[in-house]
Amino acid sequence: MKSMHVSLAHDEETLSPIHAAICDSPDLEREVVLGGQSVDGVETITSFVTGEPSAYESVLADLEGVREYDITPTDDGFFVYLRRELESEGLSLLNALAQETVVVVPPIELRADRTIRLTVVGHPADLTDVLEELSTGVTADVLWVSDSVTVAETPVSDRQLEALEAARDVGFYEIPRRNGIEAVAAKLDCAVSTASELVRRGEANVVGRTLETQL
């Protein structure tokens, strides 16, 4: 049995309306699907979205096939319970994943760069079939393959990554340090407290992931 972590890049025609909104809206950053199922073409999922609930709800209001949804706000985003009829792009992905031994391991991450990241586990031949049966307009990038059953932790958020890149660009990580957190905040055009929080959380996620993979 093997595990495979892949990034699926979508063109405009294969991008779902919800994923398109995450890519285009300044008020939505990413969606992490925590679990779900599909029965007779109706998808039921629960997920966590980084962003503003009102921006997500406005997408659902214009989307045909939504059966029901419930949104629970938190300090840094909101949880979503959603039932909707799958459109062609969702059905195509499900068909590609519907190999005999393949299991999709949550979380599934919908990113603002038009990609979906997910981990699948199964026999090597079936994992290969998943890649071969993706619809036209979806490009797969295999990030890693393991000979054991394993999963990847959710990476840093796009905003945290932006903050870490800004910190590097202004010399925040140079020795001696060229600029402080104020320069990071100026580059991000946000409050110093916000920049500090983004950098600290991003650093914690990166360090934690590095230690887990190296130790």
pLDDT tens column, 11-22:
988 899 999 999
DSSP class of residue 191?
-
* Single-letter residue type at 178: R
Q: What is the pLDDT of residues 164-174, one digit of tens each?
A: 999 999 999 99
pTM here is 0.69
Q: How many domains does the chain have?
A: 2
Q: At what angle do helices 17-24 and 53-61 cross, to 10 degrees?
A: 140
Q: What is the pLDDT of residues 182-201, one digit of tens each?
A: 999 999 999 999 999 999 98
User: What pLDDT is recorded for position 124?
Assistant: 94
Range(s) of the domain holding residue 138: 2-146
Can you tell me the mean pLDDT for 119-124? 94
Can you tell me the mean pLDDT for 154-160? 73
Residue 162: pLDDT over 60: yes
Q: Residue 178 falls within a domain, yes or no?
A: yes
Tell me the pLDDT of the chain averaged across its residues: 89
φ/ψ of 20, rounded to 5, equals -60, -40
Helix or strand (DSSP H, E) at 77 = strand 77-85
Res. 151 pLDDT band, cuts 50 70 90: low
Please tell me whether residues 142 and 174 are part of one structural domain.
no
* Single-letter residue type at 65: G
DSSP class of residue 148?
S
Res. 77 pLDDT band, cuts 50 70 90: very high
Please tell me whether residues 111 and 53 are part of one structural domain.
yes
Please tell me whether residues 123 and 34 are part of one structural domain.
yes
| Dist. CA 194–CA 125, nearest whole Å | 47
Please tell me whether residues 27 and 127 are part of one structural domain.
yes
Least trusted range by pLDDT, from 57-71, 110-124, 140-154:
140-154
Please tell me whether residues 95 and 197 are part of one structural domain.
no
- To 10 degrees, the CA torsion angle through 53, 55, 58, 64? -90
| Dist. CA 37–CA 39, nearest whole Å | 7
Please tell me whether residues 106 and 61 are part of one structural domain.
yes
Q: Residue 152 falls within a domain, yes or no?
A: no
